[in-house]
Amino acid sequence: MKKIGVLVSGGGTNWQALIDAQGSVLKNGEIVTVVSNKEGVYALERAKKAGIDAKVITRKECGSKEAFDIALRDYMKSMGVEVVVLAGFLAILGENFLSAYKDKIVNIHPSLIPSFCGDGFYGLHVHEAALKYGVKVTGATAHLVNEITDGGKILLQKAVYIDDGDTPEILQKRVMEQAEWIILPQAVEMICSAE
């Protein structure tokens, strides 16, 4: 069983999908901790309800981006974490963290990479861009994390159709329900069951 650590920044809907997948989709991994880079987010409450260790580490308390990366890395290592999952984590990880978990960090992105990805494309911004461009199909991509924003190896993708009258909020919800919550646990299981 690989030990999994999850990084979050908000409400934690993708985090909840991982909690729900334990023992079913997630057979070769066990979530041992979740870390938020923000105080008071609902993701921490989800951890408490599931009986999973939760911690807050903020960049502000660390003093610098580099110190933040080192604090995250050292905490994950202290928990025995072997696979890291970004589930709505809105901070860019630096070299100190990335090198410690090379090819072991999974992220979910709310589009079909390479469309609507990279710096500045997160949350509703992705869905606003897809609607503005007029694409008829969007979706989600589970990928490995490297030093390029949304630039790591693609593990899984799932398409979602755009309907007439979609707003960014409606599209965001559909992409989560029909793609993100399905492929994120599957991608984590792929990494946990490899080797």
Q: Which positions of the chain have pLDDT values less than 50?
A: none
Backbone angles phi, psi at 68, to 5 degrees: -60, -50
pLDDT at position 195: 66
- Is the previous residue joined to 168 through a cis bond, with omega within 30 degrees of 0? no
117 contacts 149 by C-beta, under 8 angstroms: yes
Tally of domains within the chain:
1
Q: Which of 109, 125, 127, 143 is catalytic?
A: 109
CATH of the domain at 108: 3.40.50.170
pLDDT at position 141: 98
Cβ density class 7-32: b for 16+ within 10 Å, e for less = bbbbebbbbbbbbebbeebbeebebb
Written as six digits, the tokens of 37 are: 């880079």
Q: CA-to-CA distance for 137 and 150, rounded, in angstroms?
A: 19
- Tell me which amino acid residue 44 is: L
- Got the DSSP string for 20-47? HHBTTTB-SEEEEEEEESSTT-HHHHHH
Q: What is the pTM of this model?
A: 0.95
- Got the DSSP string for 40-76? T-HHHHHHHHHT-EEEE--HHHHSSHHHHHHHHHHHH
pLDDT at position 171: 98
* Residue 127 appears among annotated catalytic residues: no
Range of the domain at 127: 2-193
